[in-house]
């Protein structure tokens, strides 16, 4: 039932209750007055008798008013004071860090409809805060783990470098390992800072019209050494003259992360393909690979911070790349989803609105 219908039914219920209450009071007063008048007439239809009847009727009205006051006090205790006390108790628990605090609604209680709306909002707020607290705790735990791993490697290789018996080859090997872990640590911190700025809306997109196909080709060429080293076959099908009006620097983060993941999870002599097509007013970019693929359960969480489908950490990463991708795509007003099958590879699809045709013709 919609909120408007609930309000209408509540208004009708309140009207019926007040109608019955007022009708009862007026009826009682009239009956008492008439009864008193009848008794006075039987005794003596004089001015004194009428005055006595009026006084008795007034006394009865005062008595009924007192009774109504008591009834209203009882009503307020159950329909106002009790809900307010429960809301205050729930708010106090929330203030002290108990994010499991919830308030039970008051179904069927006359006059509690407004409180039910407040309670519903309170429970949803508590649920959101609970989720945020869980994410914060997980974030700290994951950051600690991701920072600890490269630091431990750097510490171990640094200790081994102090040995006087090392050969030059060993020294170069250990120094290279320290440099790689230092870069991994720097990338992690950079991604954390970028993601924090994106989530706190401290980065605002600088909209600019540009050729999306050219950007994809440029970003892909940055990974040439990677695909040549692994002998990966690159397939491209990029339509020409597809323009978008978006933040070029932010979108480069998307393509770089998608290309990096595709090449990282594709075995030697595999295939990575990049396509750019148009569908109506949208540009559709697909990045596919013949890598290990991901399960359906992993696919549900793939865009969450620090989530890694490869729990063995056999492939290096910090689980922030796709979280960055998702946040950037949301900021520029696009959409992203993944299709994958374990052992057969994955396809990431990004959907972005194209620049208007009139703009393209004017600039071409």
| Options 3.30.428.10, 1.10.287.130, 3.90.550.10, 3.40.190.10; CATH of 141-199 | 1.10.287.130
| Options 3.30.565.10, 3.20.20.70, 1.10.274.10, 1.20.120.1630; CATH of 208-363 | 3.30.565.10
Same fold for the domain at 141-199 and the one at 208-363? no
Mean pLDDT of the chain: 77
pLDDT tens-place string over residues 310-341: 443 344 444 567 877 888 888 888 999 999 88
What was the pLDDT predicted at 302?
78
What was the pLDDT predicted at 274?
95
Cα(50)–Cα(41) distance, integer angstroms: 8
**Whether the Cβ atoms of residue 232 and residue 342 lie closer than 8 Å to each other:** no
CB atoms within 10 A of CB 59: 12
Cα(206)–Cα(325) distance, integer angstroms: 17
Identify the CA nearest to 150 among candidates 194, 188, 193. 188
pLDDT tens-place string over residues 186-215: 877 776 776 676 666 656 677 889 999 999
Mean per-residue pLDDT, 83-88: 84
Mean per-residue pLDDT, 19-43: 67
Residue with tokens 């081994």: 160
In terms of phi and psi (left: phi > 0; alpha: psi -120 to 50; beta: otherwise), the region of 353 is beta
CB atoms within 10 A of CB 319: 20
- Quick one: which H or E segment has residue 273? strand 271-279
- Alpha-carbon distances, residue 335 vs 268, 316, 326 (angstroms): 30, 26, 8
Identify the CA nearest to 315 among candidates 184, 223, 220. 184
Task: Say whether pTM exceeds 0.75.
Answer: no
Domains of the chain: which residue ranges? Answer: 3-96, 141-199, 208-363
What was the pLDDT predicted at 51?
67
């Amino acid at each position: 039932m919609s909120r408007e219908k609930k309000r209408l039914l509540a208004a009708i219920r309140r009207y019926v209750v007040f109608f019955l209450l007022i009708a009862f009071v007026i009826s009682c007063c009239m009956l008492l007055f008439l009864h008193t008048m009848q008794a006075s007439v039987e005794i003596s239809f004089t001015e004194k008798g009428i005055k006595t009847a009026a006084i008795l009727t007034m006394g009865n009205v005062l008595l009924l008013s007192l009774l109504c006051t008591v009834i209203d006090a009882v009503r307020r205790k159950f329909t106002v004071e009790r809900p307010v006390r429960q809301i205050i108790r729930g708010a106090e628990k929330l203030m002290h860090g108990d994010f499991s605090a919830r308030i039970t609604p008051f179904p069927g209680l006359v006059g509690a409809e407004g409180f039910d709306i407040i309670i519903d909002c309170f429970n949803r707020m508590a649920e959101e805060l609970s989720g945020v607290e869980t994410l914060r705790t997980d974030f700290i735990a994951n950051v600690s783990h991701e920072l600890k791993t490269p630091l431990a490697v750097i510490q171990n290789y640094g200790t081994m470098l102090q040995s006087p018996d090392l050969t030059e080859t060993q020294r170069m090997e250990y120094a290279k390992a320290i440099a790689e872990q230092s870069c991994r640590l720097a990338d992690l911190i950079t991604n954390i800072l970028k993601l924090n700025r994106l989530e706190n809306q401290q980065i605002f997109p600088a909209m600019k019209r540009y050729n999306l196909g050219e950007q994809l080709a440029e970003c892909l060429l940055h990974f040439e050494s990677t695909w040549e080293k692994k002998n990966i076959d690159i397939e491209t099908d990029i339509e020409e003259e597809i323009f978008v009006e978006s933040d070029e620097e932010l979108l480069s983060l998307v393509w770089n992360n998608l290309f990096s993941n595709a090449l990282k999870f594709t075995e030697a002599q595999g295939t990575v393909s990049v396509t750019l097509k148009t569908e109506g007013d949208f540009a559709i970019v697909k990045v596919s690979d013949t890598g290990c693929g991901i399960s359906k359960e992993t696919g549900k969480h793939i865009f969450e911070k620090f989530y890694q489908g490869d729990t063995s950490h056999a492939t290096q990463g910090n689980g922030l790349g796709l979280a960055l991708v998702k946040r950037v795509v949301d900021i520029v007003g696009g959409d992203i989803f993944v299709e994958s099958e374990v052992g057969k590879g994955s396809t990431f699809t990004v959907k972005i609105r194209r620049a208007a045709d009139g703009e393209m013709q004017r600039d071409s």
